[in-house]
Amino acid sequence: MRAVFWDYEKNETKMIDQRLLPESFEIVSFQHYADVGKAITDMVIRGAPAIGGAAGFGMALAAMESDARDLASLRTYIQLASDKLRVARPTAVNLAWALDRMLAVADTVEGSADDLREAMLKEAQAIADEDVEINKRMAEYGAALIEDGDTIIHHCNTGSLATVDWGTALGVIHTAHEQGKNIHVLVDETRPRLQGSRLTAWELEQYGIPYDIISDNMAGHFLHTGQVQRVVFGSDRTAANGDVVNKIGTYMLALAAKDNDIPAYAVVPTSTVDLSLAYGGLIPIEERGQEEVLSLELLGRKASPENATARNIAFDVTPHRLVTAIVTENGVVYPPFTENLKKVVGL
């Protein structure tokens, strides 16, 4: 099941509501691009590649819902939709990448407004289909880095739910398992939204891959005591020098891996590499509402005092010096990243 897809019978886009997992599995439908933008903001769908796929279908919806009968008017409406969707979440570069790709189609189509609508849906579907193929290619490269018997720490969720299908870092694990490698996964719970314990653990159960959930602050212990052979994580945006912006906690995990000589691999489609930014400090970092930190309940009680306040940084920057290699659909990239990333982007 794809995390986001188009229903051709009803002419609407559909998504798995990731906020409800693992308690319930529900597919929600959208007929308006503005609702797709809200779904991205509210994390009905999340994960950089999945956000890109949702943005593409959101633009197709914009073309469908407009009553414009001429190309110029429809292009104006599509541009407006792009502007509104672009601010749904600031960190994942796939959002802007997909919107720019859809706008390029809108600018080049000739013919009628209906021809443009057809072209927009065709391009959105191409973005989704290409993501699946990219993930599978990337997973083959990454699985070659996993050895039989490895225990792997995985942070956040990077599987089918975080992409259109298959996944990035979790796709590597899935592929290694399908190759017959005996692996075990330590799943960082990933506070505060618990994408690891809610989503990654759920996916691993579907695949039949053995795992244990650990609190984020246990990772250092397992690395230091020699119980882990690999660390893998994804990326919401990767700078030209190889700095990786990923879910908060990735930096601390990579730092502990480096200190214990454990390889740490970022699994990154080239659409997530932003060569226009020289280093990670230039990437906008999302800060979400404090209620996500304060609302966790333990044994039926609030996790914080009634009047407590909190900070909720959603991502952090992992410096390239802590990244052993970056796995892309065009191959595994090793340092120096500033030079070598350019060779695989756009192939």
Q: Which of 195, 146, 174 is nearest to 315 (CA)?
A: 195
Of the candidates 131, 188, 236, 243, the residue annotated as catalytic is 236
CA distance readout (Å), 199 to 14, 77, 282: 18, 36, 29
- CB-count exposure of residue 300 (10 Å: 0-12, 13-18, 19+): exposed
- Give first-to-last CA distance, the chain, whole Å: 28
The packing angle between helices 113-143 and 169-178, to 10°, is 60
Read off the tokens for 281. 């400090």
Distant-in-sequence, close-in-space partners of 339: CB < 8 Å, separation ≥ 6: none
Cα gap 54→12, rounded to integer Å: 11
C-beta of residue 326 within 8 angstroms of C-beta of residue 246:
no
Read off the tokens for 200. 């990654």
- Local structure of 294: helix, strand or coil: helix
Residue corresponding to tokens 């308690």: 23
DSSP at 6: E
C-beta of residue 151 within 8 angstroms of C-beta of residue 226:
no
C-beta of residue 168 within 8 angstroms of C-beta of residue 140:
no
Based on the residue annotation, tell me whether 236 is a catalytic residue of this protein: yes
Catalytic residue positions, numbered: 236
